[in-house]
């Protein structure tokens, strides 16, 4: 691999991490053999940014904007990240949810240039050797998916590579991880999506999904290969189907630096929103009763962390779980059912079977949490009933992308006469009702995982523990201002995301040091040390 400091001419202009394009000065053009290769005008990055935004805005739809921004990332990495950081509200929905869902569905059709690392069953016995083909020697964050449960869209096979690519872009933009230290990974073990397998443009392994021991052995080989090649790297598991998600989390959480964002990151994000919601409702956190619609990995992950948070407030584990109720496609999750997965059993209470509406009526929850991937499942009757029971009902419609939300912000506010404390996984525009404008909070994991990762890396953490996610949730909730709450939002503005990630990273690093999980000495000023490590894309 060539030293980037020695790049010249076209090689320099075609290296995404080094290219400044029209910003190269006259002296640099002389020194690096760029004379004649660029237009005469020497611009600032601000001017480049103006040109980029003009071109983004002229595109006719979000997929075209996604493709344009991906091309920018491929040719001028620093300008791409400067654009995202400075225009986070406009560009984050294009780089990640909700647009990334459609981008994954169309991944094989909009494919331009490869990005990331692929592992297939044919690579068995060779994964470690294949990693030597990756051009970077200092990878710190690995995001891996097998594409089986992409957002609320289901099995998208190798098209799911858009998720690790997008998540790592958020690590860079929102927490300042150096892009050279990021590795997106697609565990391409086939797909059971027949429509994809019939698509002549599909780029993945065109077989039914690998399962069982062969699947687990492939993951194990990959994890060991990463440990050997990049021993300090954090592995984030993303968008795995619930049984695999829990099995892999439980297999690796105490062995390597790893976590599952859908289970643990989502849990911390929701816990933070619940903490903040009590500042609006006036209820005590330890007195809350929650009902989950959907009982997959995300929902039960939230409940597991809530249980720990309630125990911290003085409840027993049994008492804590009694405040958390689940409804799935077959109704209320109760002990008499014989169709429950192992992760549901702790929340299968002694209660007669009930439908969703009947469960709300009888149990009177303060907050509804949706994690179904099924749009419209927070029906008008359900939301209106919540408003009858609660002065300020919590309505958390968390499924992504926007098209999969359990209800819209407008519906939640209209059906509760503006009383709802609303949060969603994807962004919704402000809603004006009876002269009052409500600014719905976006419960996006981007508030959590970049800061957790940054804190783990800054402290040299050897493991990710639940206390880190509890601390992250509390720190995030503390950043929500009275103005945010007055506007109806239980999360801080996305424009503050870098400072939020820094605060979470500092808290997570403190936990690592306190728990004996840090491999690096604690500096006198931990926050300043972390701040100095954060990637700045300006040039």
Q: Mind listing the pLDDT tens digit for each residue in 346-404?
A: 999 999 999 999 999 999 999 999 999 899 999 999 999 999 999 999 999 999 888 89
Average pLDDT over residues 459-472: 98
* Contact in structure between 195 and 525 (CB atoms under 8 Å): no
* Contact in structure between 470 and 521 (CB atoms under 8 Å): no
The CATH homologous superfamily for domain 95-256 is Malic enzyme, N-terminal domain (3.40.50.10380)
Helix (H) or strand (E) holding 364: none
Q: What are the residue numbers of the active site?
A: 96, 167
Average pLDDT over residues 162-191: 98
**Angle at Cα 393 formed by Cα 341 and Cα 375, nearest 5°?**
50
Boundaries of every domain in the chain: 4-76, 95-256, 264-444, 447-533
288-297 confidence digits (pLDDT tens):
999 999 999 8
- The SS3 assignment for 323 reads coil
Helix (H) or strand (E) holding 338: none
Residues contacting residue 194 through CB under 8 Å, at least 6 positions apart: none
pLDDT reading at 130 higher than 60: yes
pLDDT reading at 2 higher than 90: no
Average pLDDT over residues 58-85: 98
The per-residue pLDDT for 401 is 84
Q: What are phi and psi of 217, to 5 degrees?
A: -65, -35
* Residue 21 CB neighbours (<10 A): 15
245-267 confidence digits (pLDDT tens):
999 999 999 999 999 999 999 99
Average pLDDT over residues 107-125: 97
- The stretches of 176-313 forming alpha helices (DSSP H) are 194-197, 212-229, 242-252, 266-281, 297-312
The per-residue pLDDT for 3 is 61
* Residue 283 CB neighbours (<10 A): 19
The per-residue pLDDT for 426 is 85
Dist CA 296 CA 273 (whole Å)? 20
Dist CA 431 CA 417 (whole Å)? 12
Task: Please state which CATH class domain 4-76 belongs to.
Answer: mainly alpha
Average pLDDT over residues 26-40: 98
The per-residue pLDDT for 5 is 67
**Residue 423: closest CA among 503, 333, 497, 485:** 485
Give the β-pairing of 234-237 and 141-145: parallel
Q: At which residue do the structure tokens 């999969």 appear?
A: 404
- The SS3 assignment for 501 reads helix
pLDDT reading at 271 higher than 90: yes
Architecture label for domain 264-444: 3-Layer(aba) Sandwich (3.40)
Confidence of residue 345 (pLDDT cuts 50, 70, 90): very high
Do 4-76 and 447-533 show the same overall fold?
no
Dist CA 63 CA 282 (whole Å)? 42
* Contact in structure between 46 and 24 (CB atoms under 8 Å): no
**Residue 119: closest CA among 130, 109, 111:** 130
Dist CA 1 CA 20 (whole Å)? 21
Confidence of residue 1 (pLDDT cuts 50, 70, 90): very low
pLDDT reading at 129 higher than 60: yes
* Contact in structure between 400 and 442 (CB atoms under 8 Å): no
CATH number for the region 447-533 comes to 3.40.50.10380
């Amino acid at each position: 691999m060539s030293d980037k400091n020695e790049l010249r001419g076209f090689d320099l202009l075609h290296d995404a991490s080094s290219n400044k394009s029209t910003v190269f000065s006259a002296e640099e053009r002389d020194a690096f053999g760029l004379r004649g290769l660029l237009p005469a005008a020497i611009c600032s990055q601000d001017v480049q940014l103006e040109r980029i935004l003009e071109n983004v805005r002229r595109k006719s739809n979000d997929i075209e904007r996604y493709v344009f921004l991906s091309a920018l990332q491929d040719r001028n990495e620093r300008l791409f990240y400067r654009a995202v950081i400075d225009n986070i509200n406009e560009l984050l929905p294009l780089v990640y949810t909700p647009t990334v869902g459609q981008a994954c569905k169309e991944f094989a059709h909009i494919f331009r240039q490869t990005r990331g690392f692929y592992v297939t069953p044919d690579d068995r016995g060779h994964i470690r050797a294949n990693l030597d083909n990756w051009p970077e020697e200092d990878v710190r964050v690995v995001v891996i998916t097998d594409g089986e449960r992409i957002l609320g869209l289901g099995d998208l096979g190798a098209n799911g590579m858009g998720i690790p690519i997008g998540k790592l872009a958020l690590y860079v933009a929102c927490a300042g991880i150096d892009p050279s230290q990021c590795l997106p990974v697609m565990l391409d073990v086939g797909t059971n999506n027949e429509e994809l397998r019939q698509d002549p443009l599909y780029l993945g392994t065109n077989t039914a999904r690998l399962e069982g021991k062969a699947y687990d052995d492939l993951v194990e080989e990959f994890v060991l290969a990463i440990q050997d090649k990049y021993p300090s790297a954090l592995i984030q598991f993303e968008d795995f189907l619930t049984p695999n998600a829990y099995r892999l989390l439980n297999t690796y959480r105490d062995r390597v630096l790893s976590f599952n964002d859908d289970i643990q990151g989502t849990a911390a994000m929701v816990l933070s929103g619940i903490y903040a919601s009590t500042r609006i409702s006036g209820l005590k956190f330890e007195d809350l009763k929650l009902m989950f619609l959907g009982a997959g990995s995300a929902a039960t992950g939230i409940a597991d962390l809530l249980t720990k948070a309630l125990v911290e407030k003085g409840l027993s584990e049994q008492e804590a779980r009694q405040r958390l109720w689940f409804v799935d496609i077959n109704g209320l999750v109760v002990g008499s059912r014989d169709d429950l997965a192992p992760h549901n059993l702790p929340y299968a209470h002694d209660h007669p079977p009930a439908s969703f509406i009947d469960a709300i009526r009888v149990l009177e929850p303060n907050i509804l949490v949706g994690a179904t991937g099924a749009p419209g499942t927070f029906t008008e009757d359900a939301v209106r009933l919540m408003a009858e029971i609660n002065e300020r009902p919590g309505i958390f419609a968390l499924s992504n992308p926007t098209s999969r939300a359990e209800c819209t912000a407008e519906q939640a506010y209209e059906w509760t006469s503006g009383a709802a404390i609303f949060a969603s996984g994807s962004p919704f525009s402000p809603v004006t009702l009876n002269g009052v404008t409500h600014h719905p909070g976006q419960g996006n994991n981007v508030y959590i995982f970049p800061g957790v990762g940054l804190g783990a890396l800054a402290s040299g953490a050897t493991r990710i523990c639940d206390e880190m996610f509890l601390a992250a949730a509390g720190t995030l909730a503390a950043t929500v201002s009275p103005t945010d709450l007055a506007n109806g939002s239980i999360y801080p503005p996305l424009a503050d995301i870098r400072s939020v990630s820094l605060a979470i990273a500092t808290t997570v690093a403190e936990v690592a040091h306190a728990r004996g999980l840090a491999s690096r000495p604690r500096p006198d000023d931990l926050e300043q040390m972390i701040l100095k490590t954060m990637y700045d894309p300006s040039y």
